[in-house]
Chain A
Amino acid sequence: KQKYIHRWTTLPRRLCSCLQYILLLIRGCHTTAIFSPQSLSLSAYSSSGLTGFWIEEAIIKKKTEELGAGSLPLVDPGVYNYQEQDLNERLKRLYPAVNEEETPLPRSWSPKDKYSYIGLSQNNLRVHYKGHGKNHKDAASVRATHPIPAACGIYYFEVKIVSKGRDGYMGIGLSAQGVNMNRLPGWDKHSYGYHGDDGHSFCSSGTGHPYGPTFTTGDVIGCCVNLINNTCFYTKNGISLGVAFTDLPPNLYPTVGLQTPGEIVDANFGQQPFVFDIEDYMSEWRAKIHGMIARFPIGDRLGEWQAVLQNMVSSYLVHHGYCATATSFARATQTMIQEDQTSIKNRQRIQKLVLAGRVGEAIEATQQLYPGLLERNPNLLFVLKCRQFVEMVNGTDSEVRCLAIRSPKSQDSYPGSPNLSPRHGASNPHLHTGGTESPTCSNGVTPLKSKNRSSIKYPSASSSASSSTSSSPSSINYSESNSSDSTKSQPRSANSTQETSDSEMEIEAEHYSNGVVDGSSARIMNGTYKHEEILQPDDNSVGNGVLDEECSNGRQLCGGNQAATERMIQFGRELQALNEQLCREYGKNAAHKKMLQDAFSLLAYSDPWNCPVGQQLDPTQRESLCSALNSAILESQNLPKHPPLMLALGQATACVQLMARVRSGSCSFARVDNFLH
């Protein structure tokens, strides 16, 4: 085992930057010191520790769910044109931290928030002057539909001068809500502008200061608001003109003002690529913030921090039952493991069974090892049984398996694999749609990355899939046959040696992040961290491969076995009865009803795997259940229901979201997922 210890000496370093970040965020006082001059009242979260967090978490979870349901306010597909798609993608890329449910981004000029001398056209992006333009009393402005959200960190828009009109008295800038629109931006309090006729900047004053060059027809003027240091600079034709304003107030709207006939300007809020390389500018600030976090002194009690970090890693490993790794880690770091070995192994076994689809056995094992547990958690038991029913349909549960003419070994659909790592993406509705698109992917996971990940994660699944097509029936049952598989030999062969021992597999970094970003197990994740994964379109073997193997005889109900089908139907009745009993005891439960309906619906289709409710049969659906059961067991042993690492991560995520709300722009560049590699 020496080599694992060696690996662990390098791994914590990678973990460290992430963990340090998390720990800093937990200690809200530090967060404030780094990120914002504004006072960020996090005392509730820092002093009362993790408990305080749960209040916040509940709110956030709700929000996240809402966001997950609606994502972006989508337009009717008919009008949904390329430009809007471009816009959405660009805005998402530029401002990933912005929650548009809370703070929508400006996308056009507001037809309501303008002076009457202003005319709008071209989807409210073009502004023209339609007044007399005799003197400054005829000036007119228009604001964008929404103020600039602080979570942008750095915000940018451009205005192209289509025509300078008679005198070219155009002002481009920012103003707060309620500022007089019969004026050019910059002339009044909470209004800021850069004027084309003289190149002066106007900072809430009727007199300008020499700032930049003049601008006229054909020029593209950009305005960048830095919400980290509350400054603003302009660009002309892609060249930065330097800081124009400092100490800007929050909630400013992009604003333009015109004053003489013929003046026309077009706005670009992200509809088109910008002339100025704003992403390059952002990258500088991202590097700055990351540097600040990395260099932030954590005091002289270094040993203490190290102990905290080691505990977090260790408890995470124990929680998920990475027994061998946890032992190696504990030995290398000379720390103690709270839970004893047998307990960990028991949990590991149960989880393995659930993930293998052998839910009946899992229930039995739980009842045997943790008597009274399921009795105290009837809801959990019900969910487990529901799943058992689904697995019966699948033909994986042992109650139907043993009836089928099968070698017992083949029951293990995750042969030799670690089984334990909760997969993310389980709740993603796109999982089985071929994964062709997911623009809402909130954390910037690239398709390439997820491709690698999935191919590493499901090694045996795919091998089983292809081995099922081989002529040798004996090989069906052995995942070790994967060396004969040529379709995906490369990523898997790297893993094949590790599949023999669960402890080795755990070392893969993916598993670390898997647990972290598990969108399905809301309780582990506090529901704050939404991770959606795109599977590569061509990889249909990932999920279905298991099914293919399990139902290689044409994928029939319960493996096509008559006795098994009868057993399944009988089990269904028992399940129905259980539900009724629960209803009597605890009242109606809509979720249970829905779950039962969905499960039974499978029987209504000749090919359940290709039916509207067929997704239930996907093995990835087992994961949320698996972690719920694991948590319940841990809780029953008076151990933490959630690993502290996950709590910290949830806390960090919540803190960053809180920063956005208290208008600390640096949150945009201190995103948790930036630290999870």
Chain B
Amino acid sequence: GSCILSFDINEVTATSRHYVDRLFDPDPQKVLQGVIDMKNAVIGNNKQKANLIVLGAVPRLLYLLQQSSSGLDLRTECAVVLGSLAMGTENNIKSLVDCHIIPALLQGLLSPELIFIEACLRCLRTVFISPVTPVQLLYTDPTVIPHLMSLLSSSQKTQEYITQIFSHCCKTSDHQTVLFNHSAVQHIAPLLISPSYKVRMQALKCFSVLAYENTQVSMTLVNVLVDGEPLSQVFVRMMQRDQPVEMQLTAAKCLTFMCRAGAIQTEESCIVLKTLPCLVRMCSKDHLLEERVDGAETLAYLIEPDVELQRIASTTDHLVAMLADYFKYPSSVSAITDIKRLDHDLKHAHELRQAAFKLYASLGSNDEDIRKKITDTENMMDRIVSGLSESSIKVRLAAVRCLHSLSRSVQQLRTSFHDHAVWKPLMKLLQNAPDDVLIMASSTLCNLLLEFSPSKEPILESGVIELLCSLTQSDSPALRINGIWALMNMAFQADQKVKVEIVGCLGTEQLFRLLSDPDNSVLMKTLGLLRNLLSTRPHIDQIMSSHGKQIMQAVTLILEAEQSIEVKEQTLCILANIADGNTAKDLIMTNDDMLQKIKYYMSHSSVKLQLAATFCISNLIWNEEDGSQERQDKLRELGFVDVLHKLSQASDPNLSDRAKTAMQQYLA
């Protein structure tokens, strides 16, 4: 058998060789016939295509295609054969691209002959929609895009191919800008009412990729009229239920992207009554798995920032229950009945799960009732827990996003989160995860470390401090915030042991670094951590005795620096906490410079800062404590009584009360 087989292969190669040889015939008529025969031979025959490529047909075809002496028929047939070769495997595409087919075909578009242009475009289309082709090749020559725009008026075929090329090659905001600047919107908008479905569909896809996260494009789109009708209404019509699903879904995407870019208000009826219900429909069992994934992801994106849309979506067509079905693939039925279906289901199972998690995350990000509804869905917490440890990174990320969204619920933290010990897989996830997962996981951890969370204890015992401290050293501001935030939550009303461990592990050096962090919220959370560390008196004295000098330095620095009111208020609060300590008080009392600063802030224009500074003084002169007399005297000498007297007349009731209370310490 093997003998015959090898003979066959030789046979095939021999005929392939013959096809290539004919391309070199001196008689142009014979060359043309050769190309036509080759065209007929390669259709649907991947083996033949590969053979011809290996035998070097491509450079010759390209040569013939580029020669103006070749004649229109020959050049066109060459483009057709090349297009056919491109229809084969990814390897074929790679070979064609390596032979510089793209510039050659783009050059061909300058021909005056429409039939040749169409053949070139068709081949270009096939090459560009392949994932192996670098899309940048479309933008290398700056004259290409304007020329393609001008060809859009030539024929339905050019319209179809060009819009398809655009929609596949518009991957970044730079690409969007290039296309936009060449009036893509104006050129493509009329195609939305083309008589050809393919043209309408590809034009629609163009708009979806152009508008994605692009305010400029989106803002332009709302003002575009197609045949006197606003574009948004054209999209709404394309979402009608008797339209093909692909069209409904893509039109819904366009409106979603325009809405997220701020071009359409979320309460407008085309969003609430059309786009949202359309996307919910796409999630139903009636649709293909790909469509369900796409629908859920788009819906998640649409409703993410708007609680009202989240509420509406949560009541539409039993969406929350409908999504539970996304976890049932591959189903037990498919495994038995149909191996092909099993394969298909398996391929989409991860995608389905991550899409469902994403949508649950969006749904539950604000409303407590929706969160309850989600956690009440069958096996939901179990699904999240197992999702956190799935092999697919996409699923893990989506699962932790979902968990994070649900962790904003006090009730869920107290109940389901604890019952399902979600902290365990979460802690596991935090080890060696990529940044995006880490951000979500650590953010979730912040919530789990809130004082009322029953998970706080076991997490503390699992030795999380070191991990969090390492997060504060990350390059990513989000991770630094989450790290310090978690530590702050952890330090709130914590045991001395925990606090000491935090300070010890973090190190004062790192603490200082965080206090000078370029990110303001990191600074705020660090101050918050300090405040939490310096709560109850024994803790204050203990920490100040070991790190007092550095902390006082840091406080001084911040108070002297150009900082926001909030930062300074937070810092003065720390000072007030220090002033509440027994021994720690001396660190302030012996620091005249600091006292002057406090005095300064007591007369500051911001009531918040006045109040915080007054707190600080009040703590220092508090009667029942050792040495209060001396402190009172010293502060009187420094003129604080006058200041307090003045503040007791302040218009702000809190401030005047606080000042009066402080004054009373002197009277007693």
Contact = CB atoms under 8 A, between A and B. Distances in A.
B315 A280 contact: no
Contact of A277 (B273, B315, B316, B318): B273
Given A238-B273, A239-B273, A240-B277, A284 B317 contact: no
A457 interface: no
A239 B274 CA distance: 9
B317 A283 contact: no
Interface in B252-280: 269, 272-274, 276-277
Contacts of B276: 239
Contact of B315 (A212, A281, A283, A287): A212
A200 B124 CA distance: 57
Contact of A284 (B241, B315, B318): B241
Interface string B302-317: 0000000000100111
A212 B318 CA distance: 8
Contacts, number: 39
B560 interface: no
Chain B interface residue number, banded? 10 to 19
Nearest to A281: B241
B242 interface: yes
Interface string A350-384: 00000000000000000000000000000000000
A517 to B, nearest CB: 25
Contacts of A238: 269, 272-273
Interface centre among B240, B315, B317, by most chain A C-beta atoms within 10 angstroms, is B315
Nearest to B369: A213
A287 B242 contact: yes
Contact of B316 (A242, A280, A283, A284): A242
A286 B240 CA distance: 12
B273 A213 contact: no
B240 A280 contact: yes
A241 B315 CA distance: 6
A236 interface: yes
A280 B317 contact: no
A70 B240 CA distance: 36
Contacts of B242: 283-284, 286-287
B241 A242 contact: no
B382 to A, nearest CB: 21
Nearest to B280: A240
B318 A283 contact: no
Contacts of B274: 277
A297 B412 CA distance: 54
Nearest to A236: B315
Nearest to A244: B318
B241 A283 contact: yes
Contacts of B316: 239-242
B240 A240 contact: no
Nearest to A291: B242
A239 B312 contact: yes
B241 A239 contact: no
A240 B110 CA distance: 53
A243 B241 CA distance: 17
Contacts of A240: 277, 316-317
Contacts of B272: 238-239
Contacts of A281: 241
Interface string B456-485: 000000000000000000000000000000
Interface in A256-289: 277, 280-281, 283-284, 286-287
Contacts of A241: 315-318
A236 B272 CA distance: 12
Interface in B231-257: 240-242
A233 B241 CA distance: 17
B242 to A, nearest CB: 4
B630 to A, nearest CB: 66
Interface string B293-309: 00000000000000000
B378 to A, nearest CB: 13
B46 to A, nearest CB: 31
A63 B317 CA distance: 41
A240 B277 CA distance: 8
A243 B321 CA distance: 12
B318 A242 contact: yes
B315 A239 contact: yes
A239 B277 contact: yes
A19 B318 CA distance: 41
Contacts of A287: 241-242
Interface of B: 240-242, 269, 272-274, 276-277, 312, 315-318, 322
18 contacts: A212-B315, A213-B315, A238-B273, A239-B272, A239-B277, A239-B315, A240-B277, A240-B316, A241-B315, A242-B316, A242-B318, A243-B318, A277-B273, A281-B241, A283-B240, A283-B242, A287-B241, A287-B242
Given A277-B274, A283-B240, 16 more contacts: A236-B315, A238-B269, A239-B272, A239-B277, A240-B316, A240-B317, A241-B316, A242-B317, A242-B318, A243-B318, A277-B273, A281-B241, A283-B241, A284-B242, A287-B241, A287-B242
Which 6 A-B pairs give the minimum distances between C-beta atoms? Answer: A284-B241, A242-B318, A287-B242, A242-B317, A283-B242, A213-B315
Interface of A: 212-213, 233, 236, 238-243, 277, 280-281, 283-284, 286-287
